[in-house]
Chains A and B, each alone.
Chain A
């Protein structure tokens, strides 16, 4: 504990990202032991992740953004004053005065005051509805105003942050404009070619871009300087109507405190520091965005700030051997959803004698440029539209890449022989530039959580996570897991060709040497279970997933043919094909739910979920449902879930085909089909798309001539619109094409890879898939169709099979030694006239009849 006032005092002004990093470095070096550490934090909350600020609009809470662990602060005896900025420093007496009146004496002072957003001095800049984009409070204010007072928004500045802000405004539902003074977007990071590709991507997203014009005036409703924003006057004379303005025209170092103290500051701002981050007063350090580094630059990125934090901590700890801060890399990647833009190293090719290698395709909005030095070394680059290789290329910067540069920029399928994997990186390549972590340091660990915990890599902007995952041992050889060096696709082929129906045989014959004879693991068991189930009829395996050894492979949900809930109870989802249901069947569901006291809810998949069943109730519930003609809805399986429908031609005045009938036909055809991940579908009766087919793995939209088939759609965390695979198909053509598509996906996808991710990953993408399933370029369509015919012919309802077989039923008990005792720890509490899970109460001893137990 360092609250002892006899200790020398270390005062930190500014608790932003760099300030927090400084505290961590100080603690690591024992400075929190040897000093009394006091922090003045201006914002109403301790340090948070400003880099991920924009993710607030996609649901990340301020708590989740926090970078400050209260335990850390307490453990190291740090005195943190939140909401209390430093207002004056007297270097004579070495005192800092805070706004609250608090006065602190320091032996060492560290300034980490960051930047402030630059607002151009245009008339009306202080009008109501004008904002900046820097803090959580800024976002609160923007969100509030956008909700109540705005339908159009404009962002001044088309740089990295401006585009992020524009994406956020669009996400808030505003029609959004971007006004950029330079002739292209992101002028600092990308060159002309990259700007053109970026422009196309951004406009395609529905944002209006105005480049080469400046903002001249903000016009208000009542003409006063503080009235509400109505429009923006541009330098070309145009007036842009808007209700809200966000200034994102760059940042300026917050060096006022330093100036007032009489520290040396740069001509264009920034508190001047030497290589050890000392200011012109040796007792005062400056780090992060407020500092002017010894190379004459102010760095507006977090990674250089972190380096400065470490440098300053080392200097204060009098570690003379530690590296000084002499400059840093300016790599950046835009975090705006759906836009791939990255630049790294010498992106503009300013190094003497360097050469460019450029690939540009304005049709798809792709632009890639690599800057190569005289000795063939990679100096930097710009990637727009496809930044897949960013992590690897950034880490390769400074070395001669193992492939010719043109092969690094060509897209897959256009002559690029192989993607350059992270395996090619030298050991000292910096993989995570936010935290300056090398490949060697990452390779000391074996899992992503471990890497994050021990090295911090991947916890900043997150752009390196992909490369880290590829470096970790499990995926090092592309193998499925610690038990198999083969991919899911390879396992599928082995199972199919050798007709292997047992996990044990597959593991002992094809597993890694070290895993043979073992038990498998939680990754390979369900994967193999699914492969065997997908192929069951064709390889002679039992189609019923719970028989024999297959039972041990299934994930918990499959094992009880129901979905496990947080308190150990299960949910029951009967299939409702196409979402069409008779009143009688609705009544049965209602009666079953009432009789078993289940919570009922209409799902997002056009059916009804019944929650709160105990294991031993599942057979009883299903006996009633099967009796009424229901079947398993496979809500528990990596299998076909639902085929949603819109009401279509039968009732709707716009409908051009019978979408309900088609949805039912498709759902009945593919029900029970097990796949690498769940499969969802929908059929809409016309282009209005009320069934949301374009968000499905396979979606069907009616046309006057037939059906359009879309594939690779996804909702969920990374939504993707489906791609049009074929148009104006007849009923038979449609079904045949879906048969082929699904079987090709099942054959080639990775485990837990939805069709959307698969389509993105597979070499050649949609075009390749179309070649295979429409034009039969691989000559496998007959085989794919045959596999599907087998599936359809052998389908039977898992629940009907279960309740008709006492042996299978025997498994549905809470306790193997007391089959008649229900699990007393599955508990419920009332809520809105139904039940909800109640938290477990370990202290309470369960009241149960124990007579049935035999003890010897």
Chain B
């Protein structure tokens, strides 16, 4: 039992009507790093509302999310409060239309568009540009 390779899953969700303006289910999620677009995974792997972690060439990590409307978001995966690389495993939600992720460790929320922490002033994580192409 050592198969941990990625197999693209089939679209299995009722809500992901993929009215996504950006791309179809066969598209690839890409992150802007160092002037290039880094392939992250097939769009179909991203379950709306649930993140994945991606490793960046410089050793940093990104937490990548997709919402029910198909929009994509990415922020640094490291939780600034604990130093653990876990933000991709947090709960994804929206507050007055703004998407956020709540850290799975101590539950602080981060705005996914800006990376700003919503529960403590002056704390933020880096936000990345992300697209489906």
A residues in contact (CB < 8 Å) with B: 482-483, 502-505, 514-515, 517-522, 525-526, 547-549, 551-553, 555-557, 559-560, 564, 566-568, 616, 619-620, 623, 803, 806-807, 809-810, 812-821, 823-826, 839-840, 842, 845-846, 848, 850, 853-856
Instruction: Select which of B12, B52, B94 is within 8 A of A547 by beta carbon.
Output: B12
- Please name all residues of chain B whose beta carbon is closer than 8 Å to the beta carbon of A845 when the two chains form the complex: 59
In the assembly, what is the distance between CA of A845 and CA of B59, in Å? 7
Q: Are B82 and A846 in contact (CB under 8 A)?
A: no
In the assembly, what is the distance between CA of A851 and CA of B34, in Å? 17
Interface set, chain B 2-61, CB cutoff 8 A to A: 2-7, 9, 12-16, 33, 36-41, 45, 47-50, 52-57, 59, 61
In the assembly, what is the distance between CA of A564 and CA of B104, in Å? 8
In the assembly, what is the distance between CA of A842 and CA of B64, in Å? 21
Instruction: Select which of A551, A620, A825 is within 8 A of B50 by beta carbon.
Output: A551
Main secondary structure of the interface of A (DSSP, over half): loop
Closest 5 CB pairs of A and B: A552-B49, A504-B15, A840-B83, A556-B104, A521-B93
For residue B62, give the distance in angstroms from its CB to the closest CB of chain A. 9
Q: Are B94 and A853 in contact (CB under 8 A)?
A: no
Interface set, chain B 77-95, CB cutoff 8 A to A: 78, 82-86, 89-95
- Please name all residues of chain B whose beta carbon is closer than 8 Å to the beta carbon of A547 when the two chains form the complex: 12
- Please name all residues of chain B whose beta carbon is closer than 8 Å to the beta carbon of A555 when the two chains form the complex: 91, 104
- Please name all residues of chain B whose beta carbon is closer than 8 Å to the beta carbon of A806 when the two chains form the complex: 3, 7
- Please name all residues of chain B whose beta carbon is closer than 8 Å to the beta carbon of A504 when the two chains form the complex: 14-15, 68
In the assembly, what is the distance between CA of A680 and CA of B121, in Å? 39
Q: Are A819 and B6 in contact (CB under 8 A)?
A: yes
Q: Are B12 and A821 in contact (CB under 8 A)?
A: no
- Please name all residues of chain B whose beta carbon is closer than 8 Å to the beta carbon of A840 when the two chains form the complex: 78, 82-85
* B122 interface residue (CB < 8 Å to A): no
- Please name all residues of chain B whose beta carbon is closer than 8 Å to the beta carbon of A817 when the two chains form the complex: 38-41, 54-55
In the assembly, what is the distance between CA of A518 and CA of B40, in Å? 25
- Please name all residues of chain B whose beta carbon is closer than 8 Å to the beta carbon of A517 when the two chains form the complex: 68-69
Q: Are A514 and B86 in contact (CB under 8 A)?
A: no
Instruction: Select which of B4, B69, B85, B93 is within 8 A of A520 by beta carbon.
Output: B93
Name the residue of chain A whose CB is nearest to the CB of B58. Answer: A845
- Please name all residues of chain A whose beta carbon is closer than 8 Å to the beta carbon of B16 when the two chains form the complex: 549
Name the residue of chain A whose CB is nearest to the CB of B8. Answer: A810
Name the residue of chain B whose CB is nearest to the CB of A847. Answer: B59
User: Which of B36, B37, B68 has most A Cβ within 10 Å?
Assistant: B68
Q: Are A564 and B38 in contact (CB under 8 A)?
A: no
For residue B28, give the distance in angstroms from its CB to the closest CB of chain A. 10
Q: Are B54 and A816 in contact (CB under 8 A)?
A: yes
- Please name all residues of chain B whose beta carbon is closer than 8 Å to the beta carbon of A815 when the two chains form the complex: 53-55, 61
Q: Are A809 and B4 in contact (CB under 8 A)?
A: yes
- Please name all residues of chain A whose beta carbon is closer than 8 Å to the beta carbon of B4 when the two chains form the complex: 616, 619, 809-810, 812-813, 819-820
For residue A567, give the distance in angstroms from its CB to the closest CB of chain B. 5
Given contacts A552-B92, A568-B85, A840-B84, contact A853 B107 (CB under 8 A): no
Name the residue of chain B whose CB is nearest to the CB of A556. Answer: B104
* B109 interface residue (CB < 8 Å to A): yes
- Please name all residues of chain A whose beta carbon is closer than 8 Å to the beta carbon of B104 when the two chains form the complex: 555-557, 564
Given contacts A504-B15, A548-B14, A825-B84, contact A818 B9 (CB under 8 A): no
Given contacts A556-B104, A846-B59, contact A623 B41 (CB under 8 A): no
- Please name all residues of chain A whose beta carbon is closer than 8 Å to the beta carbon of B84 when the two chains form the complex: 566-568, 825-826, 840
Name the residue of chain A whose CB is nearest to the CB of B10. Answer: A807
Name the residue of chain B whose CB is nearest to the CB of A848. Answer: B59
Q: Are B94 and A520 in contact (CB under 8 A)?
A: yes
Given contacts A520-B94, A521-B94, A815-B54, contact A559 B13 (CB under 8 A): no
User: Which of B6, B36, B41 has most A Cβ within 10 Å?
Assistant: B6
In the assembly, what is the distance between CA of A150 and CA of B122, in Å? 52
Instruction: Select which of B89, B93, B105 is within 8 A of A522 by beta carbon.
Output: B93
Q: Are A518 and B1 in contact (CB under 8 A)?
A: no
Given contacts A818-B55, A825-B78, contact A522 B107 (CB under 8 A): yes
Name the residue of chain A whose CB is nearest to the CB of B46. Answer: A816
In the assembly, what is the distance between CA of A518 and CA of B56, in Å? 30
In the assembly, what is the distance between CA of A813 and CA of B3, in Å? 11
Given contacts A521-B93, A564-B105, contact A559 B45 (CB under 8 A): no
- Please name all residues of chain A whose beta carbon is closer than 8 Å to the beta carbon of B33 when the two chains form the complex: 855
- Please name all residues of chain A whose beta carbon is closer than 8 Å to the beta carbon of B97 when the two chains form the complex: 518
For residue A828, give the distance in angstroms from its CB to the closest CB of chain B. 13
8 contacts between A and B (CB under 8 A): A502-B14, A502-B15, A551-B50, A559-B89, A619-B1, A825-B83, A846-B59, A854-B39
* B99 interface residue (CB < 8 Å to A): yes
In the assembly, what is the distance between CA of A623 and CA of B89, in Å? 23
Given contacts A521-B93, A551-B47, 6 further A-B contacts (CB under 8 A): A519-B92, A521-B91, A522-B90, A816-B41, A817-B38, A839-B83
For residue A846, give the distance in angstroms from its CB to the closest CB of chain B. 5
Q: Are B50 and A814 in contact (CB under 8 A)?
A: no
For residue A529, give the distance in angstroms from its CB to the closest CB of chain B. 10
In the assembly, what is the distance between CA of A521 and CA of B13, in Å? 18
For residue A522, give the distance in angstroms from its CB to the closest CB of chain B. 4
User: Which of A514, A556, A620, A818 has most B Cβ within 10 Å?
Assistant: A556
- Please name all residues of chain A whose beta carbon is closer than 8 Å to the beta carbon of B85 when the two chains form the complex: 568, 823, 825-826, 840
- Please name all residues of chain A whose beta carbon is closer than 8 Å to the beta carbon of B52 when the two chains form the complex: 816
Name the residue of chain B whose CB is nearest to the CB of A526. Answer: B91
* B102 interface residue (CB < 8 Å to A): yes
Q: Are B91 and A816 in contact (CB under 8 A)?
A: no
In the assembly, what is the distance between CA of A505 and CA of B13, in Å? 12
Q: Are B48 and A620 in contact (CB under 8 A)?
A: no
Name the residue of chain A whose CB is nearest to the CB of B120. Answer: A449
Q: Are A816 and B49 in contact (CB under 8 A)?
A: no
Name the residue of chain A whose CB is nearest to the CB of B31. Answer: A817
Q: Are B55 and A519 in contact (CB under 8 A)?
A: no
Q: Are A522 and B102 in contact (CB under 8 A)?
A: yes
Q: Are B86 and A552 in contact (CB under 8 A)?
A: no
Q: Are A809 and B3 in contact (CB under 8 A)?
A: yes
Instruction: Select which of A518, A557, A856 is within 8 A of B94 by beta carbon.
Output: A518
* B111 interface residue (CB < 8 Å to A): no
In the assembly, what is the distance between CA of A548 and CA of B13, in Å? 5
User: Which of A517, A549, A807, A840 has most B Cβ within 10 Å?
Assistant: A549
In the assembly, what is the distance between CA of A704 and CA of B85, in Å? 55
Name the residue of chain A whose CB is nearest to the CB of B91. Answer: A522
- Please name all residues of chain A whose beta carbon is closer than 8 Å to the beta carbon of B68 when the two chains form the complex: 504, 517, 519
Instruction: Select which of B7, B78, B83 is within 8 A of A810 by beta carbon.
Output: B7
- Please name all residues of chain B whose beta carbon is closer than 8 Å to the beta carbon of A519 when the two chains form the complex: 49, 67-68, 92-94, 99
In the assembly, what is the distance between CA of A505 and CA of B86, in Å? 29
Instruction: Select which of B39, B91, B105 is within 8 A of A566 by beta carbon.
Output: B105
- Please name all residues of chain B whose beta carbon is closer than 8 Å to the beta carbon of A821 when the two chains form the complex: 55
- Please name all residues of chain A whose beta carbon is closer than 8 Å to the beta carbon of B6 when the two chains form the complex: 810, 813, 816, 819
Name the residue of chain A whose CB is nearest to the CB of B13. Answer: A549
Q: Are B93 and A814 in contact (CB under 8 A)?
A: no
Given contacts A520-B94, A815-B53, contact A556 B89 (CB under 8 A): yes
Q: Are B1 and A803 in contact (CB under 8 A)?
A: yes
For residue A630, give the distance in angstroms from its CB to the closest CB of chain B. 15
- Please name all residues of chain A whose beta carbon is closer than 8 Å to the beta carbon of B3 when the two chains form the complex: 806, 809
- Please name all residues of chain A whose beta carbon is closer than 8 Å to the beta carbon of B15 when the two chains form the complex: 502-505, 549
- Please name all residues of chain A whose beta carbon is closer than 8 Å to the beta carbon of B48 when the two chains form the complex: 549, 552
Given contacts A551-B50, A840-B84, contact A505 B14 (CB under 8 A): yes
